[in-house]
Structure 1
Amino acid sequence: MLTTKMLPPQARKAFHLLKQFELPWFVAGGWALDLFLGRITRDHSDFEIALFREDQLELQRILKGWRLELATQEGRRIWMPNEWLDLPFHELHTYDSENNHVEFLLNEKSNSDWVFRRNKAIKREISALSMYTDEGIPFLGPEIVLLYKAKEGRDHDELDMRQARDHLGNSRRQWLCHALRIHLPDHPWISQLQ
């Protein structure tokens, strides 16, 4: 079983801070898949946490004292205090005093639904969006993580799909297959999920 002690130091530090954050947040990316599978499946280059866009200023308050950078098309720039970020901005790179890096990803929602930023026709009830470890750490469901990873076609994304595919269960598998048909109708993962 994968425990928080096995996660990178920046993850543990972020979890400690996020205990003050009374709004929803979720481990995202490859680490979310590892939490789902209960084991570390590969090396990871980053640690990502998803939250809802509407909660961004509360995140900024919690991360007081951290260096906060916003990813833009031109590169990165400082995320200014109380600066509200609308789309297309969604990726924040944060660094504590020891230069530990955590990436925060702003997600969209509409009422009780999470909305896929890349195709607003794709939604998931927030109540079905995440799962929890035995230690109570929230992480995005694997179908959400794989939907984001489908765009890239990187080797590690293909590996993540192979590792997670047989553990999805019917409901998550069907949801992902349906979402891919809407967003990337010719994607090879569709046939692998059927």
Structure 2
Amino acid sequence: MRTDISNWMPLTVTEINNIFSVIPIRWCIAGGWALDLHLRKQTREHSDIDVIITREEQLIAYQHLIRDWILYRAEDGKLSLWEGEYLNSTNDVWVSKNDESPWAFQLMIMDTEENSWTYKRDKSIRRPMDEIFLRTDEGIPYLRPEIQLLHKAGSSQVREKDYIDFQTMLPSLLSQEKAWLKSSLMRQFPESHAWVEFL
């Protein structure tokens, strides 16, 4: 079992696109990189890179990736080898070239229902699958900013970099994006959330 959780040498967005563009699944860049792709510029350093795939297509992704990579389930603070079994509840998979090389990218497994994305922290929050991805001019798919910001805001502990990302994105969010993020936060946090006042 690996414990070197800080041993990262993330791939570039272009390298990720080269890997995933030939795999017949729905996927997109997530995390801080998704926000930077939306802004068309890098706003801060990124210690890792996240790729979203759907739960129902996870084994297709596994069969392609296992040819060149080693995949580890990340669950309950521990990393264990993913050997191709269907992951019913695991949401994160860490990927490296071998069992000693730095982590290259992270897979985030997304749940869907009736062709809609469902938010893992509140299943009543959802969007049609064809609405959740945007693309760069080069055709690289990334997660919509308001959905990415919901993931950041909805965590049990909002990190400083998440708040910085929110403040960076705020001026460029469209009114409908702000409205969706606000209503989603109010649904998850009926007692209010610190970001709502800015929306």
TM-score, normalization: structure 1?
Answer: 0.90
The letter for the 1-side match of 2:27 is: W
The letter for the 1-side match of 2:82 is: W
Partner of 1:16: 18
Residue 74 (structure 1) shift: 4.6
Partner of 1:107: 110
Partner of 2:130: 127
Partner of 2:49: 47
Kindly tell me: are residues 74 and 44 of structure 1, through their superposed partners in 2, closer, same or farther at Cα, counting changes over 3 Å? closer
Partner of 2:120: 117
The letter for the 2-side match of 1:169 is: L
Residue 112 (structure 1) shift: 2.4
Kindly tell me: are residues 111 and 190 of structure 1, through their superposed partners in 2, closer, same or farther at Cα, counting changes over 3 Å? same
The letter for the 2-side match of 1:118 is: R
State whether structure 2 residue 184 is matched by structure 1 residue 182: no
Determine helix, strand or coil for the equivalent of 1:188: coil
The letter for the 2-side match of 1:164 is: M
1:7-86 map, 5 Å: 9-64=11-66, 65-81=68-84, 83-86=85-88
State whether structure 2 residue 194 is matched by structure 1 residue 191: no
Question: Hey, what's the Cα distance between the residues in 1 that align with 2:42 and 2:14?
Answer: 16
Question: Hey, what's the Cα distance between the residues in 2 that align with 1:11 and 1:42?
Answer: 14
Residue 99 (structure 1) shift: 4.0
Deviations 1:160-190 (A, max 9, x none): 0001112110111111111001112311111
Determine helix, strand or coil for the equivalent of 1:104: strand
Provide structure 1 residue ranges, at least 5 long, that are not aligned to the other structure.
Answer: 1-7
Residue 100 (structure 1) shift: 5.1
Partner of 2:166: 161
Deviations 1:96-125 (A, max 9, x none): 256451000000111121100111010012
Question: Which of 141, 145, 161 does residue 144 from structure 2 map onto?
Answer: 141
State the number of aligned residues: 184
Determine helix, strand or coil for the equivalent of 2:123: coil
Determine helix, strand or coil for the equivalent of 1:32: helix
Identity of counterpart residues, as a percentage? Answer: 31
Question: Hey, what's the Cα distance between the residues in 2 that align with 1:9 and 1:61?
Answer: 20
Question: Hey, what's the Cα distance between the residues in 1 that align with 2:12 and 2:74?
Answer: 19
Is the 8 Å Cα contact of residues 11 and 49 (structure 2) preserved in structure 1? no
Question: Hey, what's the Cα distance between the residues in 1 that align with 2:13 and 2:173?
Answer: 25
Is the 8 Å Cα contact of residues 35 and 139 (structure 1) preserved in structure 2? yes
Determine helix, strand or coil for the equivalent of 2:52: strand
Question: Hey, what's the Cα distance between the residues in 2 that align with 1:178 and 1:131?
Answer: 21
Question: Hey, what's the Cα distance between the residues in 2 that align with 1:71 and 1:23?
Answer: 21
Is the 8 Å Cα contact of residues 10 and 102 (structure 1) preserved in structure 2? no
Question: Hey, what's the Cα distance between the residues in 1 that align with 2:45 and 2:105?
Answer: 16
Q: Aligned-pair RMSD on alpha carbons?
A: 1.4
Question: Hey, what's the Cα distance between the residues in 2 that align with 1:125 and 1:168?
Answer: 20
